[in-house]
Amino acid sequence: MSEEQEKPTTERRIHVLPVELLERIRAYQSENNIPSEVEAVRRLLSEALQARDSIDDVMKQVRAYFRQDRDLRAMARDVLSGHILVNRIDIDDSEVRFGMRNGDAGSIKRDGSMKTGSVTDDGNLWLNNDWPRVHEHSTSNWSSPASDRDSEIPF
């Protein structure tokens, strides 16, 4: 076997669910004209997991897509437009900006630079933080973390 084998994109799992939950899944399937119960469960799980996403989670998804395909419009379509928390997308020739229901916002430019910020009350996007955040570690203050040598002190 080759060490470079690709991981499968799907995995079969069997889960035991209460009848009440199965009835709700079937109702969702019927109301949304979804052809299979499996697809209904996939969509419900995807939406539930998206509802937990933070701005950092969405930015990671945007960055991962951009590394594979630098087409900003395709990224907006494939990553942002279907995300349950994204409620605003602005597309320019050189940048995509988006806002989320919780007031967070993000952007990516054609050169790959990314920013986060917030959505103002009047709907404007205020993007003032580079992403990912760079954590500066200062060694000149009293609150710097202990070095590994401290564990060697015999007293």
- Span 108-121, pLDDT tens digits: 999 999 999 999 98
Does 120 share its domain with 60? yes
Residue 10 included in any domain = no
Residue 134: per-residue pLDDT? 76
Greater model confidence, 64 or 3:
64
Q: Which domain holds residue 65?
A: 55-131
**97 SS3 class:** strand
0.75 exceeded by pTM: yes
Does 97 share its domain with 68? yes
8 Å CB contact between 28 and 44: yes
8 Å CB contact between 84 and 47: yes
Residue 135: per-residue pLDDT? 67
The residue among 10, 34, 50 that closes a domain is 50
Residue 21: per-residue pLDDT? 96
Examine the pLDDT at 149 and tell me if it is beyond 80: no
- Model pLDDT for residues 29-49, shown as the tens digit of each residue: 999 999 999 999 999 999 999
Residue 16: per-residue pLDDT? 95
Does 121 share its domain with 60? yes
Residue 139: per-residue pLDDT? 52
Residue 149 included in any domain = no
Examine the pLDDT at 123 and tell me if it is beyond 90: no
Residue 29: per-residue pLDDT? 98
Give Cα 138 distance to the centre of its chain.
30
**78 SS3 class:** helix
